[in-house]
């Protein structure tokens, strides 16, 4: 397997911050009410906590953790590109009626999201393989 490019740590910080803003810009406006907007806005911070705990337990450096965080956080907006209307409608329905199996995302949206998130996660894993 080819070695990943060497990306400076300061660049990873900038990319991670940009990915966080992209996540928030994509998902927060889709949420139907304040409660849902707060919940989705907390997702990147939960991801930071998860990656930080994982890094501490596994003794990973920031050079390993930041690409993983960035891939995790940017994979979701990329996975749902072109599906904003469906996401907005599903979130509105869930806010009004609660969760329901009848309100699931379409099979196409599910397949698109899972495929893109897996590919982005694999790329993030590859980028985190620093020597």
Beta carbons of 101 and 59 less than 8 angstroms apart: no
Structural domain boundaries in the chain:
9-127
Helices (H), the chain: 9-27, 34-58, 62-79, 84-97, 107-127
pLDDT of residue 131: 60
pLDDT of residue 59: 86
Angle between helices 34-58 and 62-79 (to 10 degrees): 150
pLDDT of residue 28: 97
| Residue ranges of the chain whose pLDDT lies below 50 | none
- 74 burial type by CB count under 10 A (0-12 exposed, 13-18 middle, 19+ buried): buried
pLDDT of residue 40: 96
Angle between helices 34-58 and 84-97 (to 10 degrees): 110
**Rounded CA separation 105/115 (Å):** 15
pLDDT of residue 116: 97
Q: 3-class secondary structure for 78-93?
A: HHCCCCHHHHHHHHHH
| Helix/strand/coil for 6 | coil
**Rounded CA separation 16/3 (Å):** 21
**Rounded CA separation 108/113 (Å):** 9
């Amino acid at each position: 397997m080819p070695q990943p490019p060497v990306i400076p740590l300061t660049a990873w910080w900038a990319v991670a911050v940009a990915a966080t803003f992209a996540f928030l810009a994509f998902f927060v406006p889709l949420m139907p009410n304040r409660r849902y907007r707060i919940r989705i806005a907390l997702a990147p911070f939960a991801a930071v906590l998860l990656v930080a705990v994982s890094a501490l337990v596994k003794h990973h450096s920031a050079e390993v953790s930041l690409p993983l965080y960035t891939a995790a956080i940017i994979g979701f907006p990329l996975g749902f590109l072109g599906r904003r209307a469906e996401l907005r409608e599903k979130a509105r329905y869930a806010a009004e009626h609660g969760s329901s199996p009848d309100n699931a995302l379409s099979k196409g949206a599910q397949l698109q999201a899972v495929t893109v998130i897996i590919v982005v996660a694999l790329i993030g894993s590859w980028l985190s393989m620093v020597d």
